[in-house]
């Protein structure tokens, strides 16, 4: 399979991070596609939000049903409504918002999809900086998976992680530089309670997002 270095596939959820990555990819590549996963997340409205953003941006959008991922393990508060969400990691353990294998499955499926469409570049919004205990957001994991995927399919995929070493405030700055600050602020869904834009303000995802936003707005005022 000949992979085109001008084409990119974005693993897209409609949240702040992957939406910023979608616009980053549009700036750096000639042809961009978005792939979204329905894995049993509590708020499947995020898939509709993702589709809406992709459509308005003129990016071909596809969703894949991967519910089996959350059926493989129990105890995840993102997919099981009866479990109270952890605010942070529990000792050395990841918080219960961790879905074991999620990024491993997402990126593996994305690579097979990319191969089918002749796409060389795969873009994901994972970040090690705000590392909240998710082992599959670390740079070492992404690098080793990139090697493994290339070996698995005898290909030359390149996984891009534009947010790997920047924090939430810098992610807002990147969105602003890409000219999409308002779209990211108003149209994306990061909140674990399923509220678009600034969200519920109380869940761990909202707190992290708001903290970064306030930090960035403060920096912006000082210039
Ligand atoms: Zn929230």
The burial class, CB within 10 Å (0-12 / 13-18 / 19+), for 86 is middle
CA–CA separation, 115 and 110 (whole Å): 9
C-alpha 200 – ligand 1 centre gap (Å): 4
User: Residue-wise pLDDT tens for the chain (223 aa)?
Assistant: 799 999 999 999 999 999 999 999 999 999 999 999 998 877 788 899 999 999 999 999 999 999 888 888 776 766 777 777 766 666 666 777 778 889 999 999 999 999 999 999 999 999 998 656 788 999 999 999 999 999 999 999 999 999 999 999 999 999 999 999 999 999 999 998 889 999 999 988 899 899 999 999 999 998 7
Query: 107 C-alpha vs ligand 1 centroid, how far in Å?
Result: 26
User: How far does residue 65's CA lie from ligand 1's centre (Å)?
Assistant: 24
In angstroms, what is the span from residue 90 Cα to ligand 1's centroid?
Answer: 20
Half-sphere exposure of 171 (CA within 13 A, CB side): 30
Residues having C-beta closer than 5 Å to ion ligand 1: 191, 193, 199-200, 203, 206
Q: Round to the nearest angstrom and report the end-to-end CA distance of the chain.
A: 49
Cα 4 to ligand 1 centre (Å): 39
- Tell me, in angstroms, the distance from the centre of ligand 1 to residue 37's CA: 20
Kindly give the distance from the C-alpha atom of residue 183 to the centroid of ligand 1, in angstroms, as a whole number.
18
pTM of the shown model: 0.92
């Amino acid at each position: 399979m000949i992979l085109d270095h001008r084409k990119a596939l974005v693993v897209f959820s409609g949240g702040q991070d992957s939406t910023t990555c979608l616009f980053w990819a549009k700036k750096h590549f000639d042809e961009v596609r978005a792939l979204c996963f329905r894995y049993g997340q509590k708020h499947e409205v995020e898939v509709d939000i993702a589709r809406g953003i992709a459509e308005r941006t003129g990016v071909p959008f596809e969703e894949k049903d991967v519910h089996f991922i959350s059926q493989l393990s129990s105890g995840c508060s993102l997919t099981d409504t009866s479990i109270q969400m952890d605010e942070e990691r529990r000792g050395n353990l990841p918080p219960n918002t961790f879905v074991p294998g999620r990024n491993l499955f997402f990126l593996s499926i994305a690579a097979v999809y990319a191969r089918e469409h002749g796409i060389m570049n795969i873009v994901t919004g994972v970040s090690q900086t705000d590392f909240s205990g998710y082992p599959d957001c670390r740079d070492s994991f992404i690098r080793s998976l990139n090697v493994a995927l290339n070996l698995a399919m005898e290909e030359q995929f390149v996984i891009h992680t534009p947010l790997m070493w920047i924090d939430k405030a810098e992610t807002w700055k990147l969105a602003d530089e890409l000219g999409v600050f308002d779209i990211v602020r108003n149209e994306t869904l990061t909140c674990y309670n399923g509220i678009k834009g600034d969200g519920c303000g109380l869940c761990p995802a909202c707190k992290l997002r708001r903290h970064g936003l306030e930090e960035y707005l403060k920096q912006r005022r000082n210039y």
